[in-house]
Amino acid sequence: SIGGNVSSLNESGPMPAGITDPSLTSYRARGQDIMVPGGFDQVEGPQFFGCEPPYLPLGSRSDVLVFQTDSLEQDLEVTGPITVTLWVSSTAVDTDFTGKLIDVYPPSKSYPHGYALNLTDSIMRLRYRKGPREPDFLAPGEVASVTITLYPTSNVFVAGHRIRLDISSSNFPRFDVNPNTGERLGLNRRQMAADNTVYLDAQHPSHIVLPIIRS
């Protein structure tokens, strides 16, 4: 995760030097940020949890699918709820699918490679694709539709910018990692890799719905 719609995500660090009673110090004095909230260029860096050199753009990862428009010819306002519908299959009985909407700025003097600003994101756990009440596991290789509801947002994609959608199977530490085994969440005893497929054809029309405001 590089930024995001979070208010706080931190861990409790060691007690300040010379203090042994937790009641004598505040949590804030011991708290250490795991994730920094807000908007950031989607490029790894030492200030972000879990990032390692050479600090590449997130979109260059082999486990991230990037869908991007051409440069817009005119301003485009997007305001309201956003949904991403994917037709998918997996080698695992349970896995996650994530979506992240990004405003891609063109190269500038300050950012020669452009700036990929995260706007909104969300996740869907495959076992709950039909609702939160009862888990419905997917047989390996079976194709099913998954709808990811991104948090509502409001943004004007200015002429010259691009609209980008990143699809992946994880957005950690913003969301917990799925062990992909189908075990009870939080009680899993093992983990496994999942090879996921997103389908993009006439029978499986994966797509994003943007609430476009006409001027």
Residue that is written with structure tokens 């405001």 in the block: 213
Could you tell me the pTM of the whole model?
0.90
23, burial (CB in 10 Å: exposed 0-12, middle 13-18, buried 19+): exposed
Strands 76-90 and 212-213: antiparallel
pLDDT of residue 56 exceeding 70, the answer is: yes
Other C-beta atoms lying within 10 Å of the C-beta of residue 181: 16
Strands (E), 26-179: 31-33, 65-68, 76-90, 96-105, 115-125, 144-157, 162-168
Tens digits of residue pLDDT in 159-209: 999 999 999 999 999 999 999 999 987 888 999 999 999 999 999 999 999
